[in-house]
Amino acid sequence: MDDVTTDLLIIGAGPTGLFSAYYAGFRGMRVAVVDSLPELGGQITAMYPEKAILDVAGFPSVKGRDLVEGLVAQAATADPTYLLDRTATTLEHGDDDVVVTLDDGTRVRAGALLITSGIGKFSPRPLPAGDGWVGRGMEFFVPSFAPYAGKDVVVVGGGDSAFDWAQHLEPVAASVTLVHRRDAFRAHERTVAAVKDSSVRIVTNAQVTELRGDGHLEEVEISVDGEEPRTVRAQALVAALGFIADLGAIQQWGLETRKRHVVVDSSMRTNLPRVFAAGDITDYPGKVRLIAVGFGEAATAVNNAAVVLDPAAHVFPGHSSEA
């Protein structure tokens, strides 16, 4: 692949990375975006494009895919160079630039680097009883609700993804049963209340202990503490047990990290020169991991990177409505 030279290199093409690309263009920067996934949108595109997102300012409710579509259109104004399905492997520092090498050998030379890679590469936590059932009725993600129409669905988990998918599948599926190993949930209280008020059957202090079917899932065995195992009809099972996050090679670059997150200051600077971070990957006192927060951090990071690229520039460029 041809090497790339740019003003700002962004690692991560999720919502924060896409908004960063737009804002870099607004500041007059050339921008390149790297992502290990083959499509734009990060976790939203990969995991929950149909999910209704409720905490983005200006949108009472917006589907994940619609939010990504808008962000991609907005970022297009910066004419970014997208380097998708590629992973950043090494980081080198020059006197006035950084050089990042990708896993296909491409070298990207940039005046500054902005890391917006969320939780990094992620893999779903396995369901012990589900070994060999992926694609035969069991899935970890729900990219579309249509395949679940008219089916009996079991959702395993007690976090936001489990409750979100149970809530969205309830009007589509013939039945939805949510199974969680405890009687307390990690999901947002509002979503938990909505699911409890729906037709979703919630089974707590329980685990899925066996999946059965001839070629494709037909029934699921659920073991409840202190009770005999019960069997429920199910043609589909969603294992929403969370993810194992891996920052990958980024962890070897000398960045200060705290619990797999990159430590930044109020200008979104890391401990390395010319390297900034924004979004879910960052950590600082009082950090809140919301998409809306990532957007603000993106603007802060890009504006401070602009001064690194051109010391005569101002951190605050004026409002975009004045451009």
What CATH homologous superfamily does 126-239 map to?
Answer: FAD/NAD(P)-binding domain (3.50.50.60)
48 is in an annotated binding site: yes
pLDDT higher at 59 or 260:
59
With b for 16 or more beta-carbon neighbours within 10 A and e for fewer, the 279-317 pattern comes to bbbbbeeeeeeebebbbebbbbbbbbbbebbeeeeeeeb
Q: What is the pLDDT of residue 47?
A: 74
pLDDT at 51 over 70: yes
With b for 16 or more beta-carbon neighbours within 10 A and e for fewer, the 79-90 pattern comes to ebbbbeebbbbe
144 is in an annotated binding site: no
81 is in an annotated binding site: no
Q: Where are the domains of the chain?
A: 4-122+244-309, 126-239
pLDDT at 188 over 90: no
* CA 228 – CA 239 distance, rounded (Å): 22
Q: What is the β-pairing status of strands 275-277 and 175-179?
A: unpaired
Class of residue 38 by CB neighbours under 10 A (exposed 0-12, middle 13-18, buried 19+): exposed
Q: What is the pLDDT of residue 244?
A: 75
Q: What is the pLDDT of residue 261?
A: 92
pLDDT at 245 over 90: no
Q: What is the pLDDT of residue 260?
A: 85
Average of per-residue pLDDT across 187-200: 94
Mind listing the pLDDT tens digit for each residue in 5-48? 999 999 999 999 999 999 999 999 999 999 988 889 988 887 77
- Give the position of tokens 């069997």: 231
23 is in an annotated binding site: no
321 is in an annotated binding site: yes
243 is in an annotated binding site: no
167 is in an annotated binding site: no
The amino acid occupying position 156 is V
Q: What is the pLDDT of residue 248?
A: 81
Residue 206: CB atoms within 10 A of its CB come to 22
The pLDDT mean for the chain works out to 93
pLDDT at 126 over 70: yes
265 is in an annotated binding site: no
CATH of 4-122+244-309, one of 3.50.50.60, 3.30.70.20, 3.30.465.10, 2.60.40.10: 3.50.50.60
Q: What is the pLDDT of residue 121?
A: 67
Average of per-residue pLDDT across 261-270: 97
